[in-house]
Amino acid sequence: MKTGVYLCRCSGIISDKIDSEEVQRRLAGQEGIAYIKTVDLACSDEGKREIGEDVFQQRPDRVVIAACSPRDHEETFREVLSNEGMNPFLMQMVNVREHVAWVTQDPQQATAKAIQMIRAAVRRVAHHDSLEREEIEVSPDALVIGGGPAGLKAAQLLAEAGRHVILVEKGPILGGMPVRYEEIFPKLECGPCVLEPFIADVLHGPHAANIEVHLQAEVVEAVGSFGGFTVKIRKRPRYVSLSTCIGCGACMPACPESSANPVNCGMNERKAIDFTFYGGLPNAPYLDAGACRRFKGQECNACVEACPIPGAIDFDEQEAIVERSVGAVLIAVGNELYDCTKLPQLGYGKLPDVVTSLEFERILAATGPTGGELKLSDGRAPERVAFIHCVGSLDPDHCSYCSGVCCMNALKFNELIAHKLHGALVTHYIKSLVLTGKEDHQLYQKVCARESTEWVRYENAAELTVAAGAGGRKVVRYGDDVREHDLVVLMPAMVPSAAVREVSQLFDLSRDPQGFFEELHGRVDATRSKVRGIYVAGTCQSPMDLSHSMTQAAAAAGGILSALVPGRKLQLEATYAVVDAERCSGCRSCVAVCPYKAVAYNEEHESAEVNPALCLGCGTCVAGCPVGAIQSRHFTNQQIFAEIEGALA
Partner 1 sequence: MSTQTHPKTAPQRAKPAVAFEPRIVGFLCNWCSYAGADKAGAAQLPYPPNVHVVRVMCTGRMDPQFVLKAFDEGADGVIILGCHPGDCHYKEQNLRMIQRHRLFLRYMRQLGYEAERCRLDFVSAAEGEKFAQVVTEMVATIKGLGPLSQRRRQA
Helix (H, G, I), strand (E, B) or coil at 420: helix
Check residue 600 for interaction with partner 1 (CB under 8 A). Answer: no
CB of 575 to partner 1, least distance (A): 7
x/- mask, partner 1, residues 62-81, rule CB under 8 A, reads -------xxx----------
Check residue 623 for interaction with partner 1 (CB under 8 A). Answer: yes
Of the candidate residues 490, 622, 629, 631, the single one contacting partner 1 (CB under 8 A): 622
For residues 179 and 622, which CB has a smaller minimum distance to partner 1 in the complex? 622
Of the candidate residues 595, 605, 627, 638, the single one contacting partner 1 (CB under 8 A): 595
Check residue 112 for interaction with partner 1 (CB under 8 A). Answer: yes
Closest Cα partner for 117 from 109, 128, 127? 109
For residue 442, what is the enclosing H or E element? helix 440-448
Of the candidate residues 530, 532, 548, 597, the single one contacting partner 1 (CB under 8 A): 530
Torsion-angle region of 619 (φ positive above 0: left; ψ -120 to 50: alpha; else: beta)? left
DSSP annotation of 120: H
For residues 120 and 346, which CB has a smaller minimum distance to partner 1 in the complex? 120
For residues 56 and 641, which CB has a smaller minimum distance to partner 1 in the complex? 641
For residue 235, what is the enclosing H or E element? strand 228-235
Of the candidate residues 9, 62, 113, 483, the single one contacting partner 1 (CB under 8 A): 113
For residues 244 and 620, which CB has a smaller minimum distance to partner 1 in the complex? 620
What HEC string does 49-97 produce? HHHHHHHHHHCCCEEEEEECCHHHHHHHHHHHHHHCCCCCCCEEEEECH
Residues in the chain, how many? 649
For residues 565 and 644, which CB has a smaller minimum distance to partner 1 in the complex? 644
Q: CB within 8 A of 122, min separation 6: which ones?
A: 3, 5, 27, 31, 32, 33, 62, 64, 92, 646
Of the candidate residues 98, 317, 454, 609, the single one contacting partner 1 (CB under 8 A): 98
Check residue 11 for interaction with partner 1 (CB under 8 A). Answer: no
Check residue 35 for interaction with partner 1 (CB under 8 A). Answer: no
Q: CB within 8 A of 438, min separation 6: which ones?
A: none
- Beginning with the edge strand found earlier in the chain, give each strand of the sheet holding 481-485 in spatial order: 464-468, 474-478, 481-485
x/- mask, partner 1, residues 117-136, rule CB under 8 A, reads x--x----------------
CB of 640 to partner 1, least distance (A): 6
Check residue 276 for interaction with partner 1 (CB under 8 A). Answer: no
Contact region for partner 1 (CB under 8 A) — 52-60, 105-113, 192-200, 219-227? 105-113
CA distance linking residue 88 with residue 534, whole number of Å: 31
Number of residues that bind partner 1 (CB under 8 A): 44
Of the candidate residues 11, 30, 109, 602, the single one contacting partner 1 (CB under 8 A): 109
Check residue 648 for interaction with partner 1 (CB under 8 A). Answer: yes
**Cα three-residue angle 99-101-107, rounded to 5 degrees:** 130
Check residue 593 for interaction with partner 1 (CB under 8 A). Answer: yes
CB of 436 to partner 1, least distance (A): 25
Check residue 7 for interaction with partner 1 (CB under 8 A). Answer: no
Of the candidate residues 3, 104, 335, 631, the single one contacting partner 1 (CB under 8 A): 104
Give, in order, the Cα–Cα distances in Å from 107 to each of 9, 110, 116, 643: 14, 5, 14, 23
CB-CB contact of 477 with 451 (8 Å): no
For residue 519, what is the enclosing H or E element? strand 519-521
Check residue 110 for interaction with partner 1 (CB under 8 A). Answer: yes
For residues 542 and 632, which CB has a smaller minimum distance to partner 1 in the complex? 632
Check residue 365 for interaction with partner 1 (CB under 8 A). Answer: no
CB of 39 to partner 1, least distance (A): 19
Q: Is 494 exposed, middle or buried (0-12, 13-18, 19+ CB in 10 A)?
A: buried
DSSP annotation of 240: B
CB-CB contact of 63 with 55 (8 Å): yes
Check residue 616 for interaction with partner 1 (CB under 8 A). Answer: yes
CA distance linking residue 42 with residue 46, whole number of Å: 8
Name beta bridge partners: 219. 233
CA distance linking residue 623 with residue 632, whole number of Å: 9
Site for partner 1 in 445-484 (CB under 8 A): none
CB of 633 to partner 1, least distance (A): 11
Check residue 619 for interaction with partner 1 (CB under 8 A). Answer: yes
Check residue 315 for interaction with partner 1 (CB under 8 A). Answer: no
For residues 417 and 584, which CB has a smaller minimum distance to partner 1 in the complex? 584
Q: Catalog residues that contact partner 1 under the rule CB under 8 A.
A: 69-71, 95, 97-100, 102-106, 109-110, 112-113, 116-117, 120, 530, 575, 593, 595-596, 616-620, 622-624, 632, 635, 637, 640-641, 643-645, 647-649
